[in-house]
Chains A and B, each alone.
Chain A
Amino acid sequence: MVKMFKYALDLILRRKLRTFLTSLGIMIAVMLMTFILFGMTDLQSAILTQFSSVFKPTDLYVSSQDMMGLSSMMSAPSKEAEKKEQVIVNEEIKEKIEEVEGVEDVYPMFILSGFDVYLEGDEIPYPRSFVQCVNLPGNHSMYTSFKGENPILKEDGIFVSDYVLSFFEISSEDILGKKIYVRSTTSRLLVPTTNKNMISREYVFTVQGVVETSNNAFWITADKGLDILVDIGRFTNRQEYIEKVGYSQILVSTAEGETLEVERYLTEELGLNVISTKTIVDFISTLTSGLAIALVVFGLISALVASIGIINTMVMSIYEQTREIGIVKAIGASNTQVLVIFLIQSGLIGLIGGVLGLTITYLLMKVSDPFLVEILKEQGFGSITQFFHFQPLNAIYITLGSILIGVLAGIYPAMKAAKLDPVKALRYE
């Protein structure tokens, strides 16, 4: 058996280029499969871990609109759904929510977007400036950590995130007590108004704390945020804004075990849009498993194409090796032995493809991993240290799988070779 193995190896090494080209097919299939196994599973869990670190499973984010467009991505748009978006999250709704059983806390939120945010003594505004307005203490679970004296925001206080520190190149000790200017620039503002001619305004805050999170960059109190929105949009008072526009979002903390029921009530009875850990997790799973399925399908297709390649190569080599098959049969090789020699050959092609594919993906992973981690960190996945995880056991399965594909593809040519009549094979030119 070992000798036959060596002989088969010798046969395929005689045609190095062709063996290599044939194994490329298997290689590509293997690369796709390894990517799924080593990348996708971890991508999903990384997103989920990251997500749950800032998103408590008992928290619900309620808004009038489908903020992330999640539900519309998962279902076709309908008039029914459009009607739902007309709901304004006003005081009445807020009170209703407060009365729902299982609701523990209700934090109304506003979002200021499109403002230019400057740090005292710096000319360049912070990009992507969303200012979140919510009365959450700095030690609330939404923030991973808090640095500062007073965790309760004052009227003109502002929390900044660690990203703000790195952008302005300043330490957390130095930024505390500094001024932050939030300026409205008419051209870029994205806030609701009653009047087209908006005024440019500047609001001054004092940095009261540094928080670590992957959400936003700036936080002020809900009341201050509302005042700014009223001011900028030229509403008469807070009440008018709430009645006409409503809260941007309401963070609803629920008692453990009641979350699902509360979510159901808010969506179905009050017609609100609710984002919960569950919706996000479902959405992420749908996305990643969809991606994984697509990759598996591509992997299977390329495995199929690869096996056709192997069949073709092996049939070709029967014609080239006809004489040699005749010779080995004449000197005593049995049909079964010829069969086995051919199966070993095709299995070896599979093995070569598998090992090549694994090696290349392994190297690609090693090279690209730091970059991917960097990108993901920029996107807010701070806790990630490694994107790809090489799993030796799966590598072994993949190798065995590619050998199997090779052997399966080799069955037909091997049977053909085994059945060759030695007398005719010897006469073959």
Chain B
Amino acid sequence: MSYIEIKDLKRKYVMSKEVSVEALGGVSFNIEKGEFLSVVGSSGSGKSTLLNILGGLDWEYKGKICIDGKDIKEYEPNFYRRHIVGTIFQQFYLIPSLSVEENILLPMKFVGTKVVDVKQRLEYLLDTVGLKSRREHLPKELSGGEAQRVAIARALIDCPKIVLADEPTGNLDSKTGESILNLLKELNKTEEVTIVLVTHDRETSKKTDRVITLVDGKNV
């Protein structure tokens, strides 16, 4: 039994009776614990759709996803998003009015009981992503690479088991992108976190342990 099992995953966007798009048409694959996996595919092939479902943002799918043998539908959606997965986006999605530190700590505002020492964890993550000196800064004062590092730290603050990254280097130049990839790789080792990275760029995907290719909503 694999750590994550995705079986015959289908997602259809229904706009009206006549118009609908089948973004995923039966995707099946497994992910092992601690793996750094990439899903590669051209634009519109259904990568974001897949990641939204894995990230617990979209529950209107058909098929089955099991993590550690447990169907993810058995989780409370918020608990799932809070403790099981952490998501990073191409657009960073930081909150403009909050400082670096506050952005990283934001998820903890919605957590009831804490499993980690938040202060210690924050210091550790700031150190790991190399933003100790920028903690008081606002997102607009950061470069793209720095903003994505903040987003990574935010995704990791509550020690999730899985990190999902939707085109994390898509808005960055290749050099910065590479440093982000290296950071993810490092975290994959040190945090023993399973990472699923989605990209349209084959070069990026080559840096990961294993590549799954998505074409028109199906894995080949």
The interface of chain A, by Cβ under 8 A from chain B, is 3-4, 6-7, 10, 14, 323-324, 326-335, 337, 422-423, 426
Contact = CB atoms under 8 A, between A and B. Distances in A.
Given A330-B87, A331-B154, A334-B78, A4 B55 contact: no
A323 B109 contact: no
Contacts, number: 58
Nearest to A321: B95
Contacts of A4: 109-110
Given A3-B108, A4-B109, A332 B52 contact: no
B93 A327 contact: yes
A378 B95 CA distance: 62
Given A324-B95, A327-B93, A423-B57, A3 B109 contact: yes
Interface in B21-65: 52, 55, 57-58
B129 interface: no
Given A6-B109, A331-B106, A331-B110, 12 more contacts: A3-B108, A7-B109, A328-B110, A329-B57, A329-B81, A330-B93, A331-B81, A331-B86, A332-B81, A423-B57, A426-B89, A426-B93
Interface string B144-172: 00000000001100100000000000000
B16 interface: no
A332 B89 contact: no
A328 B89 contact: no
Interface in B48-101: 52, 55, 57-58, 76-78, 81-83, 86-87, 89, 93, 95, 97-98
5 contacts: A10-B97, A326-B93, A330-B81, A331-B110, A335-B78
B111 interface: yes
Nearest to B97: A14
B177 interface: no
A333 B78 contact: yes
A327 B57 CA distance: 11
A423 B58 contact: yes
Nearest to B82: A332
Contacts of A6: 109
Interface residues of B, number: 26
Contact of A331 (B76, B97, B98, B107): B107
Interface of B: 52, 55, 57-58, 76-78, 81-83, 86-87, 89, 93, 95, 97-98, 106-111, 154-155, 158
- The 3 tightest CB contacts between A and B, nearest first, are A332-B82, A334-B78, A3-B109
B111 A332 contact: yes
Contacts of B52: 423
Contact of A332 (B93, B97, B98, B107): B107
A18 to B, nearest CB: 14
Contacts of B76: 334
A3 B89 CA distance: 25
Contacts of A335: 78
Interface of A is mostly: helix
Contacts of A331: 81-82, 86-87, 106-107, 110, 154-155
A328 B57 contact: no
Contacts of A3: 108-109
Contacts of B109: 3-4, 6-7, 333
Contacts of B93: 323, 326-327, 330, 426
A329 B110 CA distance: 10
Nearest to B77: A334
Q: Which residue, of A326, A330, A331, has the highest number of chain B Cβ atoms within 10 A?
A: A331
A330 B55 contact: yes
Among the interface residues A6, A333, A335, which one has the most CB atoms of the partner chain B within 10 A? A333
A151 B155 CA distance: 95
A327 B95 contact: yes
A10 B55 CA distance: 27
Nearest to B91: A426
A134 B111 CA distance: 84
A330 B57 CA distance: 7
A4 B93 CA distance: 19
A327 B76 CA distance: 18
Contacts of B77: 334
A6 B77 CA distance: 24
A363 to B, nearest CB: 33
Nearest to B102: A10
Nearest to A14: B97
B55 A333 contact: no
A332 B154 CA distance: 11
Contacts of A329: 57, 81
A337 to B, nearest CB: 5
Contacts of A423: 52, 57-58
A337 B57 contact: no
B74 to A, nearest CB: 17
Contacts of B111: 332
Nearest to B107: A331
Contacts of B55: 330
Nearest to B48: A423
A330 B164 CA distance: 12
A328 B83 CA distance: 14
A80 B7 CA distance: 96
Contacts of B58: 423
Most buried by A among B57, B95, B108, B110: B110
A3 B110 CA distance: 8
A330 B93 CA distance: 10
B95 A337 contact: no
A3 B52 CA distance: 27
Nearest to B87: A330
